Every structure is written in C-alpha cells, then in structure tokens.
Structure 1
Amino acid sequence: MYRLAPLCLSALSSLAMAAPPVTPPDPGIDALLQRYDGQVPGAAVLLLKDGQPVFRRGYGLAVVEDGTPVSPTSNFRLASVSKQFTAAAILLLAEDGTLTLDDPVKKWLPSLPAVADTITLRHLLIHASGLIDYEDLMDPADTRQVHDIDVLHLLEKENRTYFAPGNGYRYSNGGYALLALVVGKASGSDFASFLRQRIFLPLGMTHTLAHQDGVDDVPNRAYGYSEIDGRWERTDQSTTSAVLGDGGIYSSIDDLAKWDAALYDERLLRRSSLQQAFSPANRTDEPDVPYYGFGWRINGQALWHSGESIGFRNVIVRYPAQKLTVIMLTNRNAPEPYAMAIDIARRWLDAAQ
C-alpha cells in the first residue's frame, strides 16, 4: 500500500493557495498514465476542483477480450473504497434513530460469541473491534464464494480477539461485513437495497450498486485482470468477492463525482455526521497514516481510501480544504494507484499556477 508522504501534503497545501483556472493547462497526466493506455487493462481518472471535473478520462480496456474501452461511465469493483458507503449507511440509520453508534453489535447480531459482548458498532467502524480476520478462518480447499452472512457464521465460532475491543487497531474486513448485516437488520431491508434507496438513487448514482451475482447485472462493467507470465488474464473474482460490506460496490468516476459532491453539504448526511466520519477516531498501525475515521484514512488535511482486490486497484483522495479530489479506478492487479493519484494532484496544481 502506498502512503501519503508529509512533503506531498505540504506541497499540495502551498500550491492550492493560488486559484486555478477553470480550464487548466496540460499537467502531463496523459504521459503519467501511458502504461494504462492501449490494448491492456486500463484506468479511469477524475480530478475535481471546486466541484468541477477538470480532468476526466478513460485509458485502456474495460474488457480485454472484446476490446471494450474504459470510459468515465465504466463501472469498477471498488473493493475497500466501498467501506465509506457502509459507514454512511450506519450513519443514516443513526440519524433515523434506528440505532446508535455505541450499540453493542450483539444487539443486532446476537449469535456472535461472548467475546463480542463489548464490541460496539463504533468499534467496527474504526477497526477497533479486535475481531479475528475472517479470511484466515476460511477453508482454503473450499472454492465457493463467501457472503456477508458467511462471515458472521465464521466469526460465531471464534471466542477470541486480537485485543480487547476498543484497545487497539487492526484493519478488519470482517467488521464491515458485520456492519452490512446490521444495516439489513436495522432497516428491515437488505444492504444492497438500502444503499440503492437511501444513497445511490437520491444522489443520482444510477449505475452504482452493491453487486450480487445472479441478482443484478453491472452496467458498463470493467472486468479485473492480472499480469501472469507477461500476459493479461482475467482474474475478476475470488472467494471473497461476494462479500458486500467490505468491498462489493461497483461504481464509475462519473457516479463517484456525485458522491464527492454530497460530502461537502447536507444533501445526504447531516454536517455533524460528516464531521464524525472525517474525524480521527483511532490511531492506526501505519506510520504515515496516523488515523482512521469512519471508512476513511486520515492524514492531516487528506481524507483517502484505497481499494485492492483480485484484478482491481483503486483510490479516492480528497483535500476538502482545497476542494480538490482525485479518483483513480483500475482493472488490473498492479500497480497501486495511490502514489499516482498524489502525483496527479501535485502536477495539476503545479500546472495551474
């Protein structure tokens, strides 16, 4: 995982003092993205300044087999970038008065073992639960995909944690799978439907969805690939790809622009809820990423999250004070795009001076 160097943030802060033009000069982004262009798995890149798309482009192929190009409407599996939507769903239910962030998770999922008695929804949001990683509990010989409910069943058998809840940090995909189940229980709906009705449709994210194989189809789908022995092979799904709460959302840079806009005002969540999501809530074990909020990594003025799963590498980086956002979605196993997103932001601000 790439981390934000302090010098990058300082440079961005100083460069942002100058108001950029509406149409910026060429910052050399095409050259930077050259490896994604052509007959290879590609990338979709969006740079937003003051809510406006100042760079918006697709590179390479969304479907290698038939030559379908990546476009701004191509839908990529977001992987862990999905976690900010899971967190937003919990915050919406808290605003409704349906639950509180300090509810014990066993209020909603009572089948969890006694060791989970003191784990709260807040602990799950900020990776402070100490839950055992569900991926380590899976049978490696079982090639069937697991779902959120299967994660619960795996954790039901584990009466141990890595640390006492609330007394540490360990990044937990399982915690967010449990949160998706809580959303379903508390809303009386299911997680995918709740996201669609309460987040995606109200924001006009009409092509974004928590994908369930056999239930829905992903429009304009980008498939994931890995480079193996010099050839690109489709590696779109793994045994954990059907878990929704930790990484099952598909979206495009065009739809994510609408999500980014909603994070500046109260069209979706109250300001107090957004402040909670963006506030440092738990110190991480990553030296250059000191804090985690609700579905967001926090480093000074930067709010960001990466998403890595088989065949996909994604990142969203936001600088709310500068109203600058870079989103990069890729359908390949490497490289991690975080450092490139930072470089894009720096280059654009350099060129805009």
Structure 2
Amino acid sequence: MRRWNPRLALLCLFACSSLVCSSLAAAVPLAPPDPGIDALMQRYDGQVPGASLLVIKDGQPAFRRSYGLAVLEDGTPVTPATNFRLASVSKQFTAAAILLLAEDGKLGIDDPLKRWLPSLPAVADSMTLRQLLSHSSGLIDYEDLMDPADSRQVHDIDVLHLLEKQDRSYFAPGSDYRYSNGGYALLALIVGKASGTDFASFLRQRIFLPLGMNNTYAHQDGVDEVPNRAYGYSQIDGRWQRTDQSTTSAVLGDGGIYSSIDDLAKWDAALYDQRLLKASSLQLAFSPATATKEADVPFYGFGWRINGDALWHSGESIGFRNVIVRYPKQKLTVIVLSNRNEPEPYALAIDIARRWLDAAR
C-alpha cells in the first residue's frame, strides 16, 4: 500500500507548474482511513451524493479524502479533483477581483456604485463598492423580485435590470447589515466594466491560472465545460433526485464558481502571502467591515465571515452545500464540498477543526 506523503502532496498542491501538477495530482495518494473523521463523514459515503474533505495544517495537507458519488446516474465517484458548484463560497473570489482592480488603479473601493452602474435609481446615489462588499448597502434582494412563473435562468445583467426598477432599500446605505446576493452580482458587472473584459475571463486570467487553479471556472453554459463535474442532488420523498440548477444558478458574482479541494488548496496558500494580493488588500478582506448580529458571524469582511480567529464562508445552492473555514493564526484550514441539499457542513467543519485546534493547546 502506498504511504501518505505530505511532502509530495505539498509539492503537487502548492508549488508545481500546471503541467507537472496535472501529472502529480493523480499520483498523490489519499490520506489513509481515519475512524474518527470517517465516522463524521459517514453520511456522504457509499452510493449517495458525496463530499470532498481537505484539512491543511502548516501549509501541508493533513487529511485529504473524498466520499460517495459525483454523478449518481453513472456511479462516478467523488475525488479530490471533483469540481463542485461553490455557491456563496464564490464571493471571496468576487471580492478579490475588486481588490485586484483597486490595486491596478482601475477603480476605488469607495467609488460610488452609480459611477459604474449609472442606470440604477436614485436610492443608489449614496451606495459604494465598499458597502456592496460588506453587505451594508441595503439593496433589495433580487430573488424576491423575480417572477416565480418564469423558469428562465437569470444572469448578473438581469439582476441589474431587476434592481433598476426598485427605488427603495432596506435601510440607509452604510447604516446596517443585510446579506445581499444582488450586491455581489453587481460587483461582477463592475469587474467586467473596470477590466474591459467579462467577469469569468478576468477571474480565469488574473486569479485561477496564475495560482495554478487550472480546473476552476466561473461557469457559463455554452462557453466553458467544467471538468470532473459533480451534479447536485436533493432528497425528495426518500429518494435522491438531481436538482443541479435553479433559476439563479447562472448568476456568477454571488455563487457561480466551480472548484475542487485540490484547486482550493492553492487558493488557501495564496492567502498567506502576496503572490496574488498585496498585504493591504488581504487586510481589507479579512478585517471586520460590518457587524452582523448573527451568532456564528459577528462580523463580515470582504467576501469573508469573521468569528474570532476564524475566517469562513458557506455556500448553499440547490443541490450543493459547502464551507471553507480558515484559522490563519493556527495555519489551519478545513474545506468541505458536497453535492447534496443537506446538511449545511459548517458544524461538521468545526468538529473536524477541533482535532487540530485541541492538539495545539
């Protein structure tokens, strides 16, 4: 039996070129079974929608295994290379794109929203990009504005058109917190305008490819193909049924990215140094920007929830439940990606993290 070699895994996940990485990735063995962790992951194992789990400690993969099926219909198993729809875990990439453009001098974090999207009504006059990033703009939820009888998928530009007709907000901009998917859809449009390209291409050229996240995409039907794709499922009347897409699944800025635990390991590594973003930009992303009044989320930064030493974000979409939890001071990260409608894996990730956190005490 091949022995788990963290040093080889580290070479593959963080340091190799894309060509070498693609060949090494297949050779990197999974972690051996762990009765404690495998028991926590038991519901994902077998002929059911599955999950991938990665624990990174001190820059090395401490545990890396996958469970269950990526595609029920043909029995395709989940592997560490399986790409899941990240849902709202995508928001950290949207925020990073805005921060990159700010570093480029293409926009300012405190730019008025209407500088970039002038078609918005007067209620948006005092809204800023900072407020969109931190969910403090007061924008009306675009999901509540959609026609329930219309089964067509909406895109980021459609979110703008919906909000153009709403000259009202939940509160005065900057005065409160309300989680806003629409704000991040608008940020994706602004990335496109400021960069001179489309949002998906900007992410690919400025974030994914430079970091070696070669199989990560802001997915657009008819434009790209997601390799090693997991499809989403929901348990309905006791049976797993495919529920991979909803009418909001084509909105990219708030949740349209597909990625794997192996690619997200490279993203996690980049958040410890300045290979992608300057230290000042990372500090903006990871610093409390808005108080939320939520038990597990005392503060929100830019694309990150903040709870004490933990930076985290969940992603819930029809057929997918995901979470990334980072403890930068302890150099510990737990990532759980799953292709099912329940449960939300935040509590699971915290339970897994405790093994390493308790051992360090």
TM-score by length of 2: 0.90
> Highest relative contact order (Cα 8 Å, sep 6+), 1 or 2?
1
Match of 1:216 in 2: 224
1:90-121 Cα shifts (integer Å, max 9, x gaps):
00000000000000111111100111010000
Letter in 2 for 1:140: P
CA–CA distance in structure 1, aligned partners of residues 209 and 91 of structure 2:
18
Counterparts in 2 of 1:90-105, with a 5 A limit? 90-105=98-113
1:32 matched to 2:32? The reply is no
Letter in structure 2 aligned against 1:298:
I
Whether the aligned pair in 2 keeps the contact of 1:176 and 1:245 (CA below 8 Å) is: yes
1:143 aligns with 2:151: yes
Note the 1:64-143 alignment, pairs <5 A. 64-143=72-151
CA distance in 2, matches of 1:269, 1:111: 31
Map of 1:258 onto structure 2: 266
Return closer, same or farther for 1:208/1:25 CA change in 2, 3 Å cut-off: closer
| DSSP-derived class of the 1:28 partner | helix
Q: 2:182 and 2:264 mapped to 1: Cα distance? A: 24
Task: Give the match for residue 243 of structure 2.
Answer: 235
Correspondence 1:302 to 2:310: yes
Q: CA deviation at 1:26?
A: 4.1
Aligned equivalent of 2:290: 282
Q: Deviations over 1:260-284 (max 9, x none)?
A: 0000000000001000100001000
Shift of 1:31: 1.2
Aligned sequence identity (%)? 84
In the other structure, the counterpart of 2:69 is 61
Question: 1:288, CA displacement in angstroms?
Answer: 3.3
The structural deviation recorded for 1:205 is 0.1
SS state of the match for residue 56, structure 2? strand
Q: Which amino acid aligns with 1:28?
A: G
Kindly provide the amino acid, as one letter, of the partner of residue 344 in structure 1.
I
SS of residue paired to 2:245: coil
**Separation in 2, partners of 1:27, 1:273:** 40
Aligned-pair CA distance for 1:350: 4.7
Question: d(CA) in 1 for partners of 2:80 and 2:305?
Answer: 25
Deviation at 1:348?
4.1
Matching residue of 1:313: 321
Distance 2:63 2:137 in 1: 39
Distance 2:41 2:34 in 1: 13
Structure 2 CA distance, aligned partners of 1:130 and 1:352? 41
1:332 maps onto 2:336 in alignment: no
Given that 1:130 and 1:163 are in contact with CA atoms closer than 8 Å, whether structure 2 keeps it comes out as: yes
How many angstroms apart in 2 are the aligned matches of 1:308 and 1:167? 27
Please list every run of 5 or more consecutive structure 2 residues that lacks an aligned counterpart in the other structure.
1-30
Q: SS in structure 1 opposite 2:352?
A: helix
Q: Give the secondary-structure state (helix, strand or coil) at the position aligned to 1:277.
A: helix
8 Å contact kept, 1:27–1:350:
no
Distance in 1 of aligned mates of 2:169 and 2:319: 30
Q: TM-score, normalised by structure 1?
A: 0.92
* Structure 1: stretches of 5+ with no match in the other structure: 1-22
Structure 2 residue aligned with 1:199, among 198, 207, 210? 207
CA contact (8 A) 1:124 1:175 kept: yes
Please give the per-residue CA displacement for 1:273-307, whole angstroms capped at 9, x wherever unaligned. Answer: 00010000100031332100000000110000000
